[in-house]
Amino acid sequence: MEGDCLSCMKYLMFLFNFFIFLGGACLLGLGIWVIVDPTGFREIVAANPLLFTGAYIMLAMGAMLFLLGFLGCCGAIRENKCLLLFFFMFILLIFLAELSAAILAFIFRENLTREFFTKELKKHYQRNNDTDVFSSTWNSVMITFACCGVNGPEDFEDIRHVSYSSLEKATPEACCQRELQSREGMFVNKEACLEGIERFQNRQGCYTVILNSFETYVYLAGALAIGVLAIELFAMIFAMCLFRGIQ
């Protein structure tokens, strides 16, 4: 009976570690995508030290979970006490680190507010200057999501260092409506848009548009994080039980 329980625990341990292995692979892939993404989100992340650090933490956590999931599977199948103890200690450290990261994310959540992004936009945005990484990134985001500024076109009225002709309002070209939402897309009416005619402008702010677009994924990511923590907790319990059961 004891042998059957040990065998069952061994395969459950293997199953849990296989899920940890897959979770680590997902986090690793997501971290790499955020850091090397060529569409512009990389520059937005780099502009915020907290987000920049978070991306590398996610990358490191993914790599460690990937490795430890593999080691846990090997330790369970081979019934190696050394590998199981090593696995338990590192999973415990990662578990505590993830809890700390969640607490820090909650504490510093104000860095992701509408006011923060509005302040950064007004401070660094240089209109159609595509040689400036920050401005080029914002232009790409506004074109892709058919939005304008953080809150709307009014965000650009107070940007004094932006130069525009007397015939143009402060609204940049990226806020003008296009037939296709890409840089290659034709303007519906560029001249009318720049003269301030609202029906040819994208009036909705990017903060609301992006938040609505990614709301489902945010809840999915939160559920995934809770699931990963639960799997890690059960994996540690099974690792210790298997460790004690191996003669």
- For 196-227, the DSSP string reads T-GGGB--S-HHHHHHHHHHHHHHHHHHHHHH
Left if phi > 0, otherwise alpha if psi is -120 to 50, otherwise beta: which for 127?
A: left
Name the burial class of residue 192, with classes exposed (0-12), middle (13-18) and buried (19+) by CB atoms within 10 angstroms of its CB: middle
Asked whether the predicted pLDDT for residue 165 surpasses 50, the reply is: no
Average pLDDT, the chain: 78
Tokens standing for residue 100? 């700390």
- Of 11-15, 148-152, 174-178, 191-195, the one with minimum mean pLDDT is 11-15
Greatest C-alpha distance within the chain: 87
| Res 40: pLDDT | 56
Residue 217 domain-assigned?
no
Residue 192 domain-assigned?
yes
Residue 212 domain-assigned?
no
Specify whether 143 is located in the same domain as 229: no
Mean pLDDT of 95-121: 78
Q: For residue range 125-142, what is the model confidence (pLDDT) as tens digits?
A: 887 777 788 888 888 889
The residue among 124, 22, 119, 37 whose CA lies nearest residue 73 is 22
Residue 144 domain-assigned?
yes
Left if phi > 0, otherwise alpha if psi is -120 to 50, otherwise beta: which for 146?
A: left
End-to-end Cα, the chain, rounded Å = 15
Residue 230 domain-assigned?
yes
Confidence class of residue 247 from pLDDT cuts 50, 70 and 90? low
Residue 77 domain-assigned?
yes
Residue 32 near residue 59, CB atoms below 8 Å: yes
| Res 1: pLDDT | 42
Mean pLDDT of 24-52: 67
Residue 216 domain-assigned?
no
Specify whether 121 is located in the same domain as 105: no
Specify whether 52 is located in the same domain as 30: yes
Specify whether 57 is located in the same domain as 33: yes
Helix (H, G, I), strand (E, B) or coil at 187: strand
Count structural domains, the chain: 2
Specify whether 175 is located in the same domain as 89: no
Specify whether 22 is located in the same domain as 102: yes
Cα torsion through 89, 92, 93, 95, rounded to 10: 160
- Of 40-44, 114-118, 222-226, the one with minimum mean pLDDT is 40-44
Specify whether 151 is located in the same domain as 66: no
Specify whether 172 is located in the same domain as 238: no
Residue 72 near residue 17, CB atoms below 8 Å: yes
Confidence class of residue 160 from pLDDT cuts 50, 70 and 90? low
Helices (H) and strands (E) in the chain, counts: 8, 0
- Higher-pLDDT residue of 181 and 126 is 126
CA distance 41 to 159: 23
Specify whether 63 is located in the same domain as 130: no
Residue 209 domain-assigned?
no
Range(s) of the domain holding residue 140? 114-204
Specify whether 176 is located in the same domain as 238: no
CA distance 92 to 156: 48
| Res 129: pLDDT | 74
Residue with tokens 């402060």: 170
CA distance 142 to 156: 13
Q: Is the pTM of this model over 0.85?
A: no
Mean pLDDT of 183-210: 86
Asked whether the predicted pLDDT for residue 60 surpasses 60, the reply is: yes
C-alpha to C-alpha distances, 150 to 55, 133, 147, 213, nearest whole angstrom: 22, 17, 8, 15
| Res 148: pLDDT | 92
Specify whether 132 is located in the same domain as 159: yes
CA distance 216 to 224: 12
Specify whether 39 is located in the same domain as 84: yes
Mean pLDDT of 188-212: 87
Confidence class of residue 65 from pLDDT cuts 50, 70 and 90? confident
